[in-house]
């Protein structure tokens, strides 16, 4: 379960995230959508414990993230949008290091590492330095590292970037199964089709605030949009260029 109360982040006079309050129950797969610069990544990084909020509270599985950070973080797996890993460690060494960060050791961890590497088709590259991995391979390694310690909550920022169709499908299935077994997933994405197909509930963020939240039906009702697609709802809520304006851009 993730609970955000009045979550705010300011950089000087600029407010990136403005008082977000949200509760994501166990078993839910929640999507966070919004245009570029809306504050999605800042929100995700605050929930992951990487950025300190200016105001507000974050509770992970009922534990205050900034009150008991180590306990709260040990319940969570975070998948960032940019897959930075240690170039001079091999894939297996990286996973072993991450397991160590979560206090896990022993033969069972070695088995789990091999399982995850096999799941993501990385076993043949197990002993290669990650500097020779492609973007997608690094992304898969990081996804594996987030699942290594069997978290209760997964926070994932732009999950499909760099993944091949097979891995993207695998990740979708993994996240759905994870939520189906009572886990909580918060996912930010620009790919509206993925959000529409995967998420139980969706929040649309603009200028640091949630402008609409709920199931697809609730969002349609909120915007009086009949049976509109998520893309149409998104553009209606966040504003987008009309086709006429796009034509003018190219014709000029």
Q: Name the CA dihedral angle for 218, 219, 222, 223, rounded to a multiple of 10 degrees.
A: -150
Question: What's the min distance (Å) between Cβ of 244 and other proteins?
Answer: 10
Q: Indicate the residue among 31 and 151 with the shorter CB distance to other proteins.
A: 151
Q: Which residues pair with 39 in a beta bridge?
A: none
SS3 76: strand
CA distances from 19 to 58, 59, 170, 239 (A): 12, 15, 34, 22
Query: Measured between alpha carbons, how far is 140 from 226 in angstroms, rounded to an integer?
Result: 38
Q: Indicate the residue among 65 and 179 with the shorter CB distance to other proteins.
A: 65
Q: Indicate the residue among 73 and 220 with the shorter CB distance to other proteins.
A: 73
Question: What's the min distance (Å) between Cβ of 48 and other proteins?
Answer: 4
**Eight-class DSSP state of 104:** -
Q: Of all helices (H) and strands (E), which one includes residue 154?
A: strand 153-157
Q: Of all helices (H) and strands (E), which one includes residue 13?
A: none
Both structure tokens of 98: 């991450």
Question: What's the min distance (Å) between Cβ of 74 and other proteins?
Answer: 4
Q: Indicate the residue among 137 and 237 with the shorter CB distance to other proteins.
A: 137
Label residue 103 left, alpha or beta by phi (over 0 means left) and psi (-120 to 50 means alpha): left
Q: Indicate the residue among 47 and 175 with the shorter CB distance to other proteins.
A: 47
Query: Measured between alpha carbons, how far is 126 from 108 in angstroms, rounded to an integer?
Result: 17
Question: What's the min distance (Å) between Cβ of 82 and other proteins?
Answer: 8
Question: What's the min distance (Å) between Cβ of 49 and other proteins?
Answer: 5
Question: What's the min distance (Å) between Cβ of 212 and other proteins?
Answer: 28
* Binding residues vs other proteins (CB under 8 A): 45, 48-52, 69-74, 76, 78, 80, 84-90, 93, 96-105, 127-129, 131-133, 145, 243, 246-247, 250-251
Q: Indicate the residue among 38 and 99 with the shorter CB distance to other proteins.
A: 99
């Amino acid at each position: 379960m993730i609970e955000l109360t009045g979550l705010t982040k300011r950089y000087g006079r600029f407010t990136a995230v403005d008082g977000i309050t949200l509760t994501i129950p166990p078993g839910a797969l929640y999507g966070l959508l919004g245009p570029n610069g809306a504050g999605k990544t800042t929100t995700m990084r605050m929930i992951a414990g990487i950025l300190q909020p200016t105001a507000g509270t974050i509770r992970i599985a009922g534990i205050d993230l900034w009150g008991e950070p180590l306990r709260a973080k040990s319940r969570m797996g975070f998948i960032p949008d940019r897959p930075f890993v240690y170039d001079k460690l091999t894939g297996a060494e990286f996973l072993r290091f991450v397991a160590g960060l979560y206090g896990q050791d022993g033969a069972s961890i070695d088995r789990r590492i091999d399982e995850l590497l096999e799941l993501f088709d990385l076993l043949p590259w197990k002993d290669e330095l990650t500097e020779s991995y492609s973007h997608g391979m690094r992304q898969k390694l990081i996804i594996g590292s987030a699942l290594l310690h069997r978290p209760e909550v997964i926070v994932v920022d732009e999950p499909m970037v760099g993944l091949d169709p097979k891995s993207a499908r695998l990740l979708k299935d993994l996240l759905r199964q994870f939520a189906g077994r009572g886990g909580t997933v918060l996912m930010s994405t620009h790919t509206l089709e993925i959000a529409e197909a995967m998420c139980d509930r969706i929040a649309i963020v603009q200028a640091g605030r949630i402008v609409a939240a709920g199931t697809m039906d609730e969002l349609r009702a909120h915007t009086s949009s009949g049976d509109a697609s998520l893309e149409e709802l998104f553009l209606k809520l966040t504003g987008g260029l009309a086709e006429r304006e796009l034509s003018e851009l190219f014709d000029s």
